[in-house]
Structure 1
Amino acid sequence: MKSTHTGSESKLSRIAFFMNPIDGRYEDLLKGNKKLNIIKDLTAGLIVAMVAIPLAMGFAMASGLRPEQGIVGGAVAGLLGALFGGSKYQVYGPTAAFIPVIGGLMATYDHSFLVLVSILAGGLLMICGVVKFGRIVTLVPHSIVVGFTIGISIVIAFSQLGEIFGFKEKIGYGLLRQIERTVKYLPDANWYAFALALITFALCKTLIKLSAFIPAPLIALGFGWLVSSTLLKNNGLILIEDKYGAIPTNFAVFTTPQLPALTVPVVYDIVYYVLAIFIVAAIESLLCSRMADRLANNTGTPYNPNKELWGQGIVNIITPLFNGFPHTGALARTAVNIKAGAVSPLSGIAKFTFKLLMAAFLATYLEQVPMACIGGVLLYVANGMVKRGEIKEVYSSRNPFHIILMIYTAAAVPLWGFMPAVLTAIMIFVIMVMLGWVKKPVIQDVRVSV
């Protein structure tokens, strides 16, 4: 009885710690010149907000949702993650890894079902944080993570073929179907849209290399808006407004979860999508937190994997209610945040404010952006997800089985979908460990406060 009582007290103290938004993550804000540190965080928040708006819109539309759902959801998730997450530097928002999961769900169900499964996944994330499952993610081998990332990049690139070629017809989901329909509709392609998509891609690639302070995607969308409203005004470009209507500036829209009539397929889908959201949110946010500490050369309080899971749970319970969808730690935006000089979660709080203010001001212009530009931005995202260094790292392990795992996962994600690919890859890995073909993974220790 005594040990049980102590365990309960430990869990309650852990929850109290997790619910405290003012923790050790703000330690660097108080070091040295406090005013300068605050300015650094506010500047980083502004830059990330400018980078995040076009990405959030693109990820939402690629997932079968409306552009404003990405803007609002990303802002709310950024605020909640900054308050309750486990990392000093991590930026939260919509990410590419969720596109096949949410896109598959929205092809069959409505947004209220997405809210339901996201809330259930969020609860599971919070429980895992309380029982200290944060370090378990390190058991997933690097080869599967790299393969998964490559697979997602393929999914994103092919999902945007319709926008890049300016098709009026939908090319749908599924790699083989997308290839088949692209070939079928190619004679009707709008080559102005194709050229604009490539220019958008090139602008993003070029500008981001010049400086982290340049919001390349937003500038690329601005260029697309300018060209489509002048030189290419009557050349059949499909605008965001044509596809989704006007972007509303009333962001206080709430969606309640709804449970459909329970049948065997519905129950299966609930379990499937809850697990899919849980796995993506847990793995991506924890990997992103770990990457952020390395990128920032953090020598102070390290990221707390258990608090991160708790924060992810809150993000994925509350964000969908604000007309949003599942979110997690965003690798590229976190890197921009660090390079722009952020020292604490204050930058994430600033991002929330700046993003909503800019979205309200720019809504009229954003809806006039060609869909081809959104395709170009997402093509840039897909291209950036494939890291040569990470692929070389897998090959340098000189273990052919890890190379096979990477290639298998990369091919399985676009061909069979997220969950079948990841679960079968993990099963294959377990079998390889049992047969002694690969080393048994070891849980990496992380210093945590509670």
Structure 2
Amino acid sequence: MKKTHTKSEGILSRIAFFMTPIDGRYEDLLKGNKKLNIIKDLTAGLIVAMVAIPLAMGFAMASGLRPEQGIVGGAVAGLLGALFGGSKYQVYGPTAAFIPVIGGLMATYNHSFLILVSILAGTLLMICGVGKFGRIVALVPHSIVVGFTIGISIVIAFSQLGEIFGFKEKIGYGLLQQIQKTMLYLPDANWFAFALALITFALCKTLIRFSAFIPAPLIALGVGWLVSSTLWKSNGLILIKDKYGAIPTDFLVITTPQLPAMTASVVFDLVYYVLAIFIVAAIESLLCSRMADRLANNTGIPYNPNKELWGQGMVNIITPLFNGFPHTGALARTAVNIKVGAVSPLAGIAKFTFKLLMAAFLATYLEQVPMACIGGILLYVANGMVKRKEIREVLESKNPCHILLMIYTAAAVPLWGFMPAVLTAIVIFVIMVLLGWVKKPLLQDIPVPAQTPAKRIMETV
């Protein structure tokens, strides 16, 4: 009886800690020049907000949603993640990995069903955080993660062929269908749209090399807007407002979940999409948190994987209710956040404010951006997801099993979809482990930073 009582007290104390917004993650804000640190965080929040607006719009539209849903959702997720997440530096928002999952759901169901699925997935994430399952997610082998990332980049690139070539018809979902439709509609392509997509891609790719302080995607959108409203005004470019209408500035829109009539098919899809969102959110957020600590050379309190899962759960329960959709840790925006000097979650809180203010001010201009620019930005995102260094690491492992896992996952994601690809890859990996072909990963294999008393608090709860 005493043991049960102690266990319940441990869970309650863990939940109390997870619900504390001001925790050890702000330690670096109080070191040295406090005013300068605050300025660093505010500057980082502003830069990330400028980078995030076009990406959020693009991810939302690629997922079958409206552009403002990405803007508002990304802002709300950024605030919740900064308050209740487990990382000092991580930026939260819509990510590329969710595109095939959300896009597939929206092709069959509506936004209300997506909200229900996200709330259930968020609840599962919070339960896993309380149950201290954060480090277990790290058992997924690196080869599968790399293959998954490559596969998602292929999905994103091919999903934007319609925007890049300026097609008026939809090319749909599914790699083979997209290739088939592209070949069918290619004689009617708008080559001005194609040129603008390439210009957008080149601007993003080039400007980011000069400085992390340059919001390359936002500048690319500005160039696209300028060209489409002047030189190429009469060249048939499809604008965001042509496809989605005006972008509203009333961001306080509450939407509620809704369950359709229950059939065997609906139950299957409900379980499928809940698990898909749960897996993507858990893996990507924890990988992003781990990457952020390395990139920032964090020598203080490390990210807390269990608190991160709790925070992800809150993000995916609350964000969709504000007319949003599932979000997670964003690798590229987190990297920008660190490179421009963020030292604490205050940067994420600042991003929330700056993003909504800028979106309200720029809404009239954003709706006049050509869809080809969105296609070019997402092509840039897809290109950036494929890391040669990570592929080389798998290849240089000289383990044919891991090389096979990477290639299999990379091909299976665009061909069969996220869940079948990842689950079968994990099953194959487990079989390889049981046969002794690859080393069995152990929890103690996962590196844990040296602990001071303050670090132990973050690690143990």
**Structure 1 length normalisation: TM-score?**
1.00
**Residue correspondences, number:** 450
Whichever residue aligns with residue 162 of structure 1, its letter is G
Aligned ranges for residues 225-236 of structure 1 at < 5 Å? 225-236=225-236
How far apart are residue 449 of structure 1 and its match?
4.3
Report the Cα distance in structure 2 between the residues aligned to 1:193 and 1:94, rounded to whole angstroms: 25
**Is the contact made by 1:89 and 1:343 (CA closer than 8 Å) also made in structure 2?**
yes
Aligned ranges for residues 35-74 of structure 1 at < 5 Å? 35-74=35-74
1:32: which partner in 2? 32
Report the Cα distance in structure 1 between the residues aligned to 2:267 and 2:280, rounded to whole angstroms: 20
Aligned ranges for residues 86-235 of structure 1 at < 5 Å? 86-235=86-235
Whichever residue aligns with residue 58 of structure 1, its letter is G
**Is the contact made by 1:138 and 1:442 (CA closer than 8 Å) also made in structure 2?**
no
1:305: which partner in 2? 305
Coordinate RMSD, CA, aligned: 0.5
1:13: which partner in 2? 13
How far apart are residue 218 of structure 1 and its match?
0.1
Whichever residue aligns with residue 310 of structure 1, its letter is W
Whichever residue aligns with residue 80 of structure 1, its letter is L
2:451: which partner in 1? none
How far apart are residue 442 of structure 1 and its match?
1.7
**Structure 2 length normalisation: TM-score?**
0.97
Aligned ranges for residues 252-401 of structure 1 at < 5 Å? 252-401=252-401
* Identity %, equivalent residues: 89
Report the Cα distance in structure 1 between the residues aligned to 2:174 and 2:258, rounded to whole angstroms: 27
SS in 1 for 2:391: helix
Whichever residue aligns with residue 350 of structure 1, its letter is A
Whichever residue aligns with residue 118 of structure 2, its letter is S
Report the Cα distance in structure 2 between the residues aligned to 1:10 and 1:121, rounded to whole angstroms: 24
Report the Cα distance in structure 2 between the residues aligned to 1:391 and 1:320, rounded to whole angstroms: 34
Can you list the C-alpha shifts for 1:221-267, whole angstroms capped at 9, x where unaligned? 00000000000000000000000000000001111000111100000
Report the Cα distance in structure 1 between the residues aligned to 2:375 and 2:177, rounded to whole angstroms: 18
Whichever residue aligns with residue 58 of structure 2, its letter is G
**Is the contact made by 1:132 and 1:306 (CA closer than 8 Å) also made in structure 2?**
yes
Report the Cα distance in structure 1 between the residues aligned to 2:422 and 2:391, rounded to whole angstroms: 18
Report the Cα distance in structure 1 between the residues aligned to 2:374 and 2:170, rounded to whole angstroms: 15
How far apart are residue 138 of structure 1 and its match?
1.2
Report the Cα distance in structure 1 between the residues aligned to 2:8 and 2:210, rounded to whole angstroms: 53
Can you list the C-alpha shifts for 1:170-207, whole angstroms capped at 9, x where unaligned? 00000000000000000000000000000000000000
Report the Cα distance in structure 2 between the residues aligned to 1:42 and 1:138, rounded to whole angstroms: 32
**Is the contact made by 1:135 and 1:445 (CA closer than 8 Å) also made in structure 2?**
no
Whichever residue aligns with residue 381 of structure 2, its letter is V
Report the Cα distance in structure 2 between the residues aligned to 1:9 and 1:396, rounded to whole angstroms: 47
- Residues 1:407 and 2:445 aligned together: no
Can you list the C-alpha shifts for 1:348-379, whole angstroms capped at 9, x where unaligned? 00000000000000000000000000000000
Can you list the C-alpha shifts for 1:56-103, whole angstroms capped at 9, x where unaligned? 000000000000000000000000000000000000000000000000
How far apart are residue 10 of structure 1 and its match?
0.2
Can you list the C-alpha shifts for 1:317-355, whole angstroms capped at 9, x where unaligned? 000000000000000000000000000000000000000
Report the Cα distance in structure 2 between the residues aligned to 1:195 and 1:30, rounded to whole angstroms: 49
Report the Cα distance in structure 2 between the residues aligned to 1:381 and 1:301, rounded to whole angstroms: 31
SS in 2 for 1:134: coil
**Is the contact made by 1:45 and 1:349 (CA closer than 8 Å) also made in structure 2?**
yes
Report the Cα distance in structure 1 between the residues aligned to 2:119 and 2:90, rounded to whole angstroms: 22
Q: Which runs of 4+ in 1 moved over 6 A?
A: none
Whichever residue aligns with residue 283 of structure 1, its letter is I
SS in 2 for 1:243: helix
